[in-house]
Structure 1
Amino acid sequence: MPNEAIAGARKVSEVLSWGLGQVQPALRAAVDGLPASVRRVAGYHLGWWDEHGEPTDAAGGKAIRPVLAQLAAEAVGGSATSALPAAVAVELVHNFTLLHDDVLDGDEIRRHRPAAWHVFGVRDAILTGDALLALAFDVLATGGHPAASDGVRTLNATVLGLVDGEQADLAFEDRHDIGVAECVAMVERKTAGLLACACALGASFAGAKPAEVAGLRDFGLHLGVAFQHVDDLLGIWGDPAVTGKPVHGDLRARKKSLPVVAALNSDTAAARELAALYQGDGHRVATEPAHAANLIEAAGGRAWSEQQAGLLLTRALHALDSINPPPRAAAELTDLATSLIHRDH
């Protein structure tokens, strides 16, 4: 039976539209309180206006993390509204990371248009990211919610993990001895941590029991690693029309992503040839990305990431089942998680 037929469960597109509709007014209100110098860059990055401040309908992201926070609240019998501070806070942190990541990686395109740093300059993009991070903690801490204090500590630990994971990811570019487990641990901090945090905060703000918070945190963590596997696959083989980034973009940037690291550790002829491309400064990978992509596939990296994404999705759904959520919330979280992993790649 289709999940949308279960207890009035909505389709994924409807859930995302609903979640974005819930969080956008609060997000705009928060950003409106920023100094004008960074508010202009933030609004551009979020897709609200162009570089001149004129309203636009540019894409501003799907609000996956806020939606997870809101659905997590419903999964423990609470209301999505109770999780709104958590939803806004995780979306602000997410956009802080995107602004900084684009600078660190030199990515010129974000959401199918020029990245903020490419339009406004590196300094303005970095400072705007800093402002969004500060704003996230302010949103979470104010309002007098009983879960706010613990929530701030949870978010702070998550941000520290994000920074540590980003540092490790960048350091991987200059290393040739990265193990698969080390790469997965980096992803758990950098990507999966914020999804886990979104779920945990949403549950906490809805008054969840500790076991429910832990179950939803595990759901988000497994989903986050699976999500990164798919992102890494798209970063190599994705369609630019879908991803908004150039084909083979991660290879041109010499990223040692999950499928790359798995391929390099496969002890195959293709792995050894791939390792030779990555030797030194990795210049050959950047200039021969199509050849590198073929080697990664031949060494099993692509198949491994696809398999891992499926296994991790199963673990995420088992964690969700462990808290015995209401049928509608369970169906909507299941469908959302499945859609995030079964993207075209």
Structure 2
Amino acid sequence: MTATDVTVTDAVPEVLDRCRALVRPALGAAVGRLHPWVGEMAAYSFGWCEVGGAPAAASGGKGIRQALAVLGAEAAGAPGSAGVPAAVAVELVHAFSLLHDDIMDGDATRRRRPAVWRAYGTGPAVLAGDALFALAVETLAAAPDGGAAVRQLSAALGDLVCGQADDLLFTARPWTGPERVRPDEYRAMAECKTGSLLGSALALGARLGGAPAAVTAGLERVGRRLGVAFQIADDILGIWGDPAVTGKPVHGDLRERKKTFPVLCALDSPGPAARRLAALLESDAGTAEVALAVEEAGGRTAAPAAARRLVVGAAAELDALPLTARAAAELRALPEFLVGRDL
């Protein structure tokens, strides 16, 4: 990495802050159009309020997707404001997916607070998710070239559903044998579940910024690669991350025996360490012992290496596209900052 790259990478928090400041008024206005009770649940999911509506200072996340939409517009040579409708739409869809995902997975907390379904109830949380989805479509449909943009978002949502379905089905498959989940299957699932929305954010921002079809298609591929890298990074943090940083309990994914990428890589390695890990996963062994077994079987090495390869591939794809220099540099720095430092 060059000195210039380091400077741009170090500036990523400012880039994220700039994009959030650009998108936040429009996102707040969109949520404000919802039924007041549903709008409160949506605001709670974004970290803007507590149950009952009192203002809150909870973190609403890094804002990766909205930043990608804004940078996609800027990469096409348009002002970042051109990408705001896409940013709002993808943020709404992301929030909708998290509300439903927490219910499906039974996750009781989200960003160090009770998940919406625990705070308000399962039925209300489903309703809030549905409302966010409908609002996303409405927001994007009102943008220039809205019909084509909605079709593009709909395709991404179809992939997201397929990825979520595969993720749920993975839970019933065995840890070993011919029916086990392979790392390449997991990558395909992650590209649909996580990568589809990141790719859509970049491509929609570029589309609204006036980019030609070849550029929007290339940016969508970049976003999909980054989505898989982010999912792998999240899996690594789910095992070895600091709860004070991640907001998740230590070894939470291992406690729930989730089929995450580091575990699948470890199981796919040859030798006795993988066999020992499989036996532990099928037992009531403690999570610390399982985490050590994943590391001994190579999962802690293989997973970050795979994420970094995806980041390098995304950077190469960006280099091949005719993008504005500043936005391209910021897009290259974003995964280095978010994935590289997390690993």
* Alpha-carbon distance between aligned partners in 1 of 2:49 and 2:341, rounded to the nearest angstrom: 28
8 Å CA contact 1:20–1:63 kept in 2: the answer is yes
Distance 1:292-1:260 versus aligned 2 partners, 3 A rule: same
Q: For structure 1, which runs of at least 5 residues remain unmatched after alignment?
A: none
Alpha-carbon distance in 2 for matches of 1:114, 1:5: 37
Residues 109-188 of structure 1 aligned to structure 2 (within 5 Å): 109-143=109-143, 145-146=144-145, 148-176=146-174, 177-188=180-191
Residue 249 of structure 2 is aligned to residue 251 of structure 1: no
| Residues in 2 aligned to 1:254 and 1:129: alpha-carbon distance in whole angstroms | 27
1:48 equivalent in alignment to 2:48: yes
What secondary structure does 2:249 align onto? coil
Give, in angstroms, the shift of residue 37 of structure 1. 2.5
Determine the structure 2 residue equivalent to 1:98: 98
- Tell me whether 1:77 sits opposite 2:80 in the alignment: no
Q: Deviation digits for residues 41-92 of structure 1, max 9, x if unmatched?
A: 1111111111121111111112110100110111121121111111100001
| C-alpha contact 2:160 2:194 (8 A) present in aligned 1 | yes
Counterpart of 2:242 in structure 1: which amino acid?
D
RMSD of the alignment, in Å? Answer: 1.6
Identity across matched positions, percent: 49
For the 8 Å contact 1:230–1:343, the answer to whether it is kept is no
Question: CA-to-partner distance for each residue in 1:134-189, whole Å, 9 max, x for gaps?
Answer: 1111100014x12x112111111111111111111111111021112111110010
User: What count of residue pairs does the alignment treat as equivalent?
Assistant: 336
Q: In structure 2, what residue type is equivalent to 1:171?
A: L
User: What secondary structure does 2:53 align onto?
Assistant: coil
Q: Which residue of 2 aligns with 1:197?
A: 200
Answer yes or no: is 1:58 the counterpart of 2:58: yes
Q: TM-score, normalised by structure 1?
A: 0.93
Q: Provide runs of 4+ in structure 1 moved above 6 Å.
A: none
- Could you tell me which runs of 5 or more consecutive residues in structure 2 were left unpaired when the two chains were aligned: 175-179
Q: 2:323 aligns with which of 298, 317, 325?
A: 325
**Following TM superposition, by how much is the alpha carbon of 1:5 offset from its aligned partner in structure 2, in angstroms?**
6.1
Equivalence for 2:177:
none
Counterpart of 2:213? Answer: 210
Secondary structure at the residue paired with 1:2? helix
Q: Which residue of structure 2 lines up, in the alignment, with residue 293 of structure 1?
A: 291
Contact (CA 8 Å) 1:232, 1:257: kept in 2 or not?
A: yes
The TM-score, its normalising length taken from structure 2, stands at 0.94
Give 1:2's aligned residue.
4
Compared CA separation, residues 291 and 333, structure 1 to 2 (3 A) = same
Inter-partner Cα distance in structure 1 for 2:152 and 2:342: 33
Q: 1:235 to 1:10 in 2, by over 3 A?
A: closer
Secondary structure at the aligned position of 1:234 is classed as: helix
